[in-house]
């Protein structure tokens, strides 16, 4: 049983929900976040908050005091932005991870759960689920940094005798996702429609994604925490494919009937097909996604609508 957890990036979309779930399970929780993307108000009551940088050895060592499990969520999460800002992307996502690993030998940590991404995979020739054995040939700097960080986590933790689980998140959605022009197509589309603008689709819209609710991502992390295995690499998704055109139609119908999306030139670095084969995590950890896109997309609409009303 673990007693004290560190959640890096714990003031962000996924990290804050994970921290709340860990508190509910009786763990003491420390959050390390530089608030570049996360928000102070996301930090759940009962968690100790340290504003600091995962690239700082001093900040990480301070956060690790008494911790026996780490959930490493801190990252620059943007495939598109990583193309231009590849140095900043690697500095946080790769070097930040190495800094964390460098601080582990003098800590009490016995398990690391690393948040990776479907961006580590090569594109698939068809809209079929890809297993963890699918070729890892990323087509973006973001994917390259995540893949390198994965391999360091597995190697260094093995050398230190620390259990390590790598979770490759697919397209996570849910209420509370911070708005940026690059991340979270559901939130981006909802925001545009509520502002009276058409959603913008880059490419033909037939690229297919696996949209997994943030609650299921949190559940996967809790299962990894309690796994009897010392290591594992797992996809976290639903196994269901949804096209970007389908997302746009669904949201237009719910928010602005009759609205038609705009199509623009596709962005480089993005996978056309990205659907998770979740059989391995189901067998090894007992993971079963409990939600679907159609069931929970209304939560995102209401959250964005409420946030807009508060700002107004």
Q: Is 305 helix (H, G, I), strand (E, B) or coil?
A: helix
Instruction: Identify whether 273 is a catalytic site residue.
Output: no
CB count in 10 Å sphere of residue 13:
26
Distances 241 to 120, 206, 262, 293 between C-alpha atoms, Å? 18, 11, 22, 10
Query: End-to-end alpha-carbon separation of the chain, Å?
Result: 46
- Pairing state between β 48-51 and 28-33: parallel
Encoded tokens for 15: 């990290």
Q: Which of 121, 142, 169, 273 is catalytic?
A: 142
Of 183, 117, 113, the closest CA to residue 147 belongs to 117
Closest CA to 287 of 226, 241, 242, 230: 226
Which token pair is 26? Answer: 């009786």
Q: How far apart are CA 293 and CA 218, in angstroms?
A: 16
User: Whose CA is closest to 227, among 283, 285, 160?
Assistant: 285
Name the burial class of residue 28, with classes exposed (0-12), middle (13-18) and buried (19+) by CB atoms within 10 angstroms of its CB: middle
Residue pair 150/114 in contact (Cβ under 8 Å)? The answer is yes
Q: How far apart are CA 282 and CA 288, in angstroms?
A: 6
Say if CB 65 and CB 41 are below 8 A apart. no
> What is the maximum alpha-carbon separation in the chain?
60
Active-site positions read 142
């Amino acid at each position: 049983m673990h007693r004290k957890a560190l959640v890096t990036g714990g003031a962000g979309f996924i990290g804050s929900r994970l921290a709340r779930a860990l508190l509910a399970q009786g763990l003491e929780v420390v959050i390390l976040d530089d608030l570049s993307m996360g928000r102070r108000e996301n930090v759940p009551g009962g968690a100790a908050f340290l504003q600091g940088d995962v690239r700082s050895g001093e900040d990480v060592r301070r956060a690790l005091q008494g911790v026996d499990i780490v959930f490493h969520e801190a990252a620059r999460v943007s495939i598109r932005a990583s193309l231009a800002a590849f140095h900043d992307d690697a500095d946080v996502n790769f070097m930040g991870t190495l800094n964390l690993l460098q601080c582990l030998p003098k800590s009490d940590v016995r398990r690391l759960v690393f948040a990776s991404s479907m961006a580590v995979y090569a594109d698939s020739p068809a809209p079929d689920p890809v297993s963890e054995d699918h070729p890892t040939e990323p087509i973006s700097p973001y994917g390259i940094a995540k893949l390198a960080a994965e391999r360091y986590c597995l190697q260094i933790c093995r050398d230190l005798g620390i259990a390590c689980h790598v979770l490759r998140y697919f397209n996570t959605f849910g209420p509370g996702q911070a708005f940026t022009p690059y991340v979270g197509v559901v939130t981006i589309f909802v925001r545009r429609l509520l502002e009276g603008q058409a959603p913008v689709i880059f490419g033909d819209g037939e690229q297919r994604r696996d949209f997994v609710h943030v609650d299921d991502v949190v559940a996967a992390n809790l299962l990894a925490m309690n796994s009897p295995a010392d290591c594992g690499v797992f996809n976290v998704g639903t196994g269901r494919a949804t096209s970007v055109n389908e997302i746009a139609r669904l949201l237009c119908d719910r928010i602005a009937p009759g609205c038609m999306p705009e199509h623009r030139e596709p962005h480089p670095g993005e996978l056309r097909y990205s659907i998770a084969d979740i059989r391995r995590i189901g067998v090894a950890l007992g993971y079963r996604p409990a939600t679907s896109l159609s069931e929970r997309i209304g939560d995102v609409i209401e959250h964005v609508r409420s946030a807009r009303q508060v700002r107004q």
